[in-house]
Structure formats: C-alpha cells, structure tokens
Amino acid sequence: MTMDGGRPLRVAVVGSGPSGFYAAEALFKDATLKCEVDMFDRLPTPFGLVRGGVAPDHQKIKSVVKVYEKTAADPRFRFYGNVKLGADLSLEDLRRRYDAVILAVGAESDRRMGIPGEDLAGSFAATEFVGWYNSHPDHRDKAFDLSAESVAVVGIGNVAVDVARVLAEDPEVLAKTDMADYAVDALRKSRVKNVYMLGRRGPAQAAFSPAELEELGGLHSADLVLTPEETALDPESQKDYDAGDQALKKNVDALQAFAKRGPGSKARKVHLRLCVSPVEVVGKDGKVAAVRIEKNVLVRQPDGSIKPKGSGRFETLPIGMILRSVGYFGVPVPGVPFDSKKGVIPNAAGRVLEAGAPLPGLYVVGWAKRGPSGLIGTNRACSAETAAKVLEDFRGKALAADAEKTQAAAEAYVRGKKRDVVSFADWKRLDAAEVEKGKASGKIREKFSRISDALAALKAVVV
Ligand code: NAP
C-alpha cells in the first residue's frame, strides 16, 4: 500500500490554476500518503485565472503564485505545459497511467443573456475582454472597438467591476502593470467616457465585494455615479439589510454614500445602474448601437430569495459596445460526464459521478466542481475536500508495481505524444524572459500572448 512502502500513488491533475495547485498541495501535505503528481495544462504557462483572469492592477492577488511555486518545486511534482486533454492525450490515456485523475479545468466559457441582438458585432463576453488585456492566447487577437463614447457592462459581480475599472481608469495606471502592451495602446486611444454597469437587482443584492466597490469609487480618471432612487432599499431588501452580513451592509452603505456624492467632475463616468435588465441589444448596420433596458421591481420568492421582475418601463442607452459579465460557464471534457444546465462536472464532494455513481479514480476540483464562484482562496478548502476523497479511496489498497505508472514512464509517454512539452523549469525561463521584456518599457512583465512565441523563446534560450 502507498502508506507502507509500496509504489507511490500516481495522480494526474488536469489544469494548473489555483484549484489544481491546491489539490497537489493537499496531497503532498498528507504524511500518510506517498504520492506523485503530474500536472497538465493546455497552455505552455501555468496558473490559470491567476495569470489570465486576475486584473493587471491587482498584483497583490497574483503574488499567490509563490505558494504554487513551492508546490511545483517538490520533487514529487512534474508540470506538462502545452499538452491538451482531449487533443494531445485522451482521458483513457491518463486513466491507464495514473491511479487518480483530478480535473481542475475551471469554467472556460461564459453565460449568455438570452436576449435579441446578443450576437451583434460589438457584443462580447467580459471574459473575452479580460483574456484580451491579460495576453491570453485564446483572446489576444480579438478587436474591441473603443471608439464610442459609451459602453455597457452587464452584471455587477467582481468581473464586471474589473472590466469597468479597466475601461474607465487612466491607462497610465495600467501601463506599468503586466497588462498586454497592445491593450494599453488601445486603452490610450480609447474615446470611452461613459461605462454603464447594469445590475438587475438592487444594492443589497450586488455580487461585488466591498473592497472592489471602494476601488471603483476611487479611480483617478472616473467618477462612480449612482442615483438616490436606485440605491434606496425596497422593504424586502431592507429586511435583508437589517439581518444581513457585513459585506451586504458595507455594499449598501457605500452605494448610498456614492449616490449622495453626486456626479463629480472627472472626465469619465462609471454609471452604476441598479434594478435594470437589458432586454435587447439594438443594432445599426450589424453593429451594437444601443441597449434597451427595463426597470425592475424586486419580489421575494417562496424560497426566500429576491428576484427581479420587469416593470414595463423601458429606457434606451446609446452604446458602441456591450460586455456581458453574467458569469462563467463550464466546457465539457471529452469522455467526462457533464451537467449542461449547471456547467459543472457532476460530483459528490469531488468524486465524479456517472448516473449517480462514482467513477473510480476520477475526481474534480474548483469551478468545474462547484461552479464559477468564490475567491482564489475558496479553492483551497474545495481541493482539500477532493484530496481527502482520493486518500479515502486509496487507503488500505496495495498498489501493484506497474511499469506504466512511474514518473519516468509518464515523461517518456507524454514527450512521445507531443512535441514542445513545457516543463516547470522551462516555464521559469519564460517567466524570467517576460520580466526582462517588461523592463524595457518599465512594466512588471510583458507576457507571451502567443503560444508559438513562447515556444520559440524557449528554443532560443536552449540553443
Ligand atoms: P458573479 O459574482 O456570479 O456575478 C455575476 C453577475 O451577473 C451578478 O451581478 C448577477 O446578478 C449578474 N447576472 C447573471 N445573469 C444575469 C442576467 N441574465 N442579466 C443581468 N445580470 C445577470 O460572477 P463574476 O463576476 O463572473 O465572478 C465570478 C467569481 O470570481 C466570483 O466569485 C467573484 O467574486 C470572483 N472574482 C473575484 C475577484 C476579486 O476578488 N478581485 C475578481 C474577479 C472575480 P444576480 O446576482 O442578480 O444573479
């Protein structure tokens, strides 16, 4: 058995974002388990949303990678970047070579609004915009037209706040960060003056965190604008406020204080609209020209939640671009059960379920497990829960010697299947090259935004 001197438990983790690294960390931490972890990522670079999602002006949040680097430095750990499950390797390939496969694939797509005009040119998912300014290879070639005076961001979660801040803030604040150089250039040329954030419910139901709201209210080049009418609490929301947690109270108090402050005198405005739902994206010549919104009333539901209901009163806001920031959504992994309604992999505390029964040796962590919610740290407990299930399933089992289930066999197999596999040592070289490249323009780093450029840089370094 793994715990009494047999061969180590071999674990593959697919995905190198926070949840993947926390799963490896939890497995390594368990003194009763002898275990090796091979981590795969379709990109040549690790860290998932910490690299491709966290806003460039939130470098403190990104410093969490130091924790992941500690895990990666463990001799029981291997990184295989630029290897895609479902293209370069199949799930069956992995299951044959590993005792356990942990899927840490996140939620790579986005929710839709389901309204007319959503597919017009100039209508995007906020996640595309985020990927674009963060140099993500999937999104770096997208073109966002910032020539209009007004744009809309649908949703009032933390992602919506990030994109509104990036659109409204002085680009020079972002120029020294690790934001893509092409994005900084585009933002410097931007003519956007008004960013409309559209929340379908009221101040007591806002999804953003108080700290993010405070930051939005303190931008150098934009005022946060709200009206007393839209920040007033309806009687049901007032009950939630009176009984509510600190975050809810802080949000409501801050929103009402911003409303009292008036529109301010800065060149740009972030208009945070509440109790409004977009009902149509209006086009002109095939391009976004306006968004029609309906004012909502809030209604307490039998389950205790508060939902928006259209009031029949409409308004039209002229805009040149709309970003829907209404949540991420999972993408199915070939061969793995998928709940297409919730966008997650069905599971019981991390054990993947098929028709209600656990699939032996297959596990899930992070957003693919519980849906796209929570902060980076939320993943630590989530991954520890799954790791505990792995341990439970293998405790007391003798692992027979298996020539395919060794670090060396896996290395040879993966490299035989795919050229240009990126190891963690390779990534550290890319990391150093990015930092070096950034120095020239006084930036924290300039990321490789094309996979081919990253691979070419590695070859240049090796030769
Ligand atoms: P989110 O927190 O779930 O917010 C989604 C927003 O979209 C909510 O305001 C929601 O309103 C709204 N919405 C959903 N469907 C809608 C529709 N059909 N029409 C209009 N509005 C709609 O999701 P997120 O902003 O994508 O963030 C994902 C997770 O990452 C969150 O846990 C977030 O805290 C985290 N994150 C954290 C940070 C940070 O800490 N700095 C930064 C980015 C993301 P309802 O509430 O009415 O449903």
What are the residue boundaries of the structural domains of the chain, listed by start? 9-108+329-422, 112-326
Overall average pLDDT of the 314-337 stretch = 97
Cα(154) to ligand 1 centroid in Å equals: 10
The model's confidence at residue 307, banded by pLDDT at 50, 70 and 90, is very high
Overall average pLDDT of the 411-440 stretch = 97
Q: Report residues whose beta carbon is within 6 angstroms of any ligand 1 atom.
A: 58, 113, 154-160, 162, 199-201, 205, 207, 209, 212, 277, 325-328, 372-375
Atom 38 of ligand 1: nearest residue by CA position: 158
State residue 5's pLDDT score: 55
State residue 1's pLDDT score: 44
Single pTM value for the model = 0.96
Overall average pLDDT of the 323-350 stretch = 97
Cα(205) to ligand 1 centroid in Å equals: 11
CATH number of 9-108+329-422: 3.40.50.720
Q: Dig out the tokens for 254 from the structure.
A: 């801050």
Residue 463 reports pLDDT greater than 80? no
Strands, DSSP E only, in 274-332? Answer: 276-284, 287-300, 306-318, 321-324, 328-329
State residue 396's pLDDT score: 81
Rounding to the nearest 10 degrees, give the CA dihedral for residues 86, 92, 95, 98.
-70
Cα-trace Rg, the chain: 24
Overall average pLDDT of the 296-312 stretch = 98
Ligand 1 atom closest to residue 205's alpha carbon, by position in its atom list = 46
State residue 158's pLDDT score: 98
Cα(204) to ligand 1 centroid in Å equals: 14
State residue 104's pLDDT score: 98
- Can you tell me the distance from the alpha carbon of 124 to that of 112, in angstroms, rounded to the nearest whole number? 10
Q: For residue 424, how far is the Cα from the chain centroid?
A: 22
Residue 244 reports pLDDT greater than 90? no
Rounding to the nearest 10 degrees, give the CA dihedral for residues 401, 404, 407, 412.
150
Mean pLDDT of the chain: 96
> Residue 178: what residue type?
D
- Can you tell me the distance from the alpha carbon of 312 to that of 308, in angstroms, rounded to the nearest whole number? 12
Report the residue count for the chain. Answer: 463
Pocket test for ligand 1, best of 58, 59, 159 (most atoms within 8 A of CB): 159
Q: Are 177 and 59 in contact (CB under 8 A)?
A: yes
Residue 369 reports pLDDT greater than 50? yes
- Can you tell me the distance from the alpha carbon of 432 to that of 436, in angstroms, rounded to the nearest whole number? 6
C-alpha pair distances (Å), 314 with each of 119, 275, 277, 291: 21, 12, 9, 10
- Can you tell me the distance from the alpha carbon of 355 to that of 339, in angstroms, rounded to the nearest whole number? 11
Overall average pLDDT of the 423-432 stretch = 98
Q: Which residues contact 394 (CB under 8 A, 6 or more apart)?
A: 2, 9, 33, 99, 100
Per residue in 172-227, pLDDT (tens digit) is 999 999 999 999 999 999 999 999 999 999 999 999 999 999 999 999 999 999 99
Helix, strand, or coil here: 372? Answer: coil
Q: What is the DSSP letter of 203?
A: G
The domains spanning 9-108+329-422 and 112-326 adopt the same CATH topology: no
The model's confidence at residue 395, banded by pLDDT at 50, 70 and 90, is confident
Cα(374) to ligand 1 centroid in Å equals: 10
CATH superfamily name and code, 112-326? FAD/NAD(P)-binding domain (3.50.50.60)
Ligand 1 atom closest to residue 328's alpha carbon, by position in its atom list = 26
The model's confidence at residue 249, banded by pLDDT at 50, 70 and 90, is very high
Q: In degrees rounded to 5, what are phi and psi of residue 36?
A: -125, 145
Ligand 1 atom closest to residue 126's alpha carbon, by position in its atom list = 26
Cα(301) to ligand 1 centroid in Å equals: 20
- Can you tell me the distance from the alpha carbon of 251 to that of 278, in angstroms, rounded to the nearest whole number? 23
Cα(206) to ligand 1 centroid in Å equals: 9
Q: What is the DSSP letter of 342?
A: T
Q: In degrees rounded to 5, what are phi and psi of residue 214?
A: -60, -45
State residue 6's pLDDT score: 81
Atom 41 of ligand 1: nearest residue by CA position: 158
Pocket test for ligand 1, best of 51, 108, 158 (most atoms within 8 A of CB): 158
Q: Look up tokens 């934009």; give the residue.
A: 222
Per residue in 228-243, pLDDT (tens digit) is 999 999 999 999 999 9
Pocket test for ligand 1, best of 64, 200, 255, 276 (most atoms within 8 A of CB): 200
Cα(325) to ligand 1 centroid in Å equals: 7
The model's confidence at residue 461, banded by pLDDT at 50, 70 and 90, is low
Per residue in 39-80, pLDDT (tens digit) is 999 999 999 999 999 999 999 999 999 999 999 999 999 999
Residue 2 reports pLDDT greater than 80? no
Question: Which position has the higher pLDDT, 3 or 323?
Answer: 323
- Can you tell me the distance from the alpha carbon of 28 to that of 12, in angstroms, rounded to the nearest whole number? 13
Q: Dig out the tokens for 369 from the structure.
A: 């497990």
Tell me which of 49-63, 158-172, 371-385, 397-411 is least confident: 397-411
Q: Are 10 and 410 in contact (CB under 8 A)?
A: yes
State residue 397's pLDDT score: 85
pLDDT > 70 fraction of the chain, expressed in percent and rounded = 98
Ligand 1 atom closest to residue 127's alpha carbon, by position in its atom list = 26
